[in-house]
């Protein structure tokens, strides 16, 4: 599975909130990655966002999400 950083998101991830799920899909992100990114975005219930548990945290580098490897 190829992983890309969307140019709208940028290296710092500061524009993550401006990119829609459809925009990420159109850029070529997998549905699983788009779903994960959408789920961990800040919301009223989680103003600072949520952690993303993943076996490949590097795949989310530059997106602004807090990707965490669940292992030791």
Burial readout 27-54 (b: 16 or more C-beta within 10 A, e: otherwise)? eebeeebbebbeebeeeeeeeebeebeb
User: Has this prediction a pTM greater than 0.75?
Assistant: no
**How high is the pLDDT of residue 43?**
85
pLDDT band at 18 (very low <50, low <70, confident <90, very high): low
Write out pLDDT tens, residues 23-65: 888 888 888 888 888 888 888 998 888 999 999 888 888 777 8
* Structural contact between residues 65 and 13, judged by C-beta atoms closer than 8 angstroms: yes
Q: Is 64 left (phi over 0), alpha (psi -120 to 50) or beta?
A: left
Sequence ranges of the domains in the chain: 16-68
């Amino acid at each position: 599975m190829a992983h890309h950083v969307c140019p709208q998101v940028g290296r710092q991830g500061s524009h993550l909130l401006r990119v829609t799920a459809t925009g990420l899909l159109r850029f070529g992100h997998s549905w699983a990655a788009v779903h994960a990114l959408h789920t961990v975005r800040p919301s009223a219930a989680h103003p600072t966002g949520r952690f993303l548990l993943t076996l490949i945290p590097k795949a989310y580098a530059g997106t602004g999400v807090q990707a965490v490897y669940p292992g030791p």
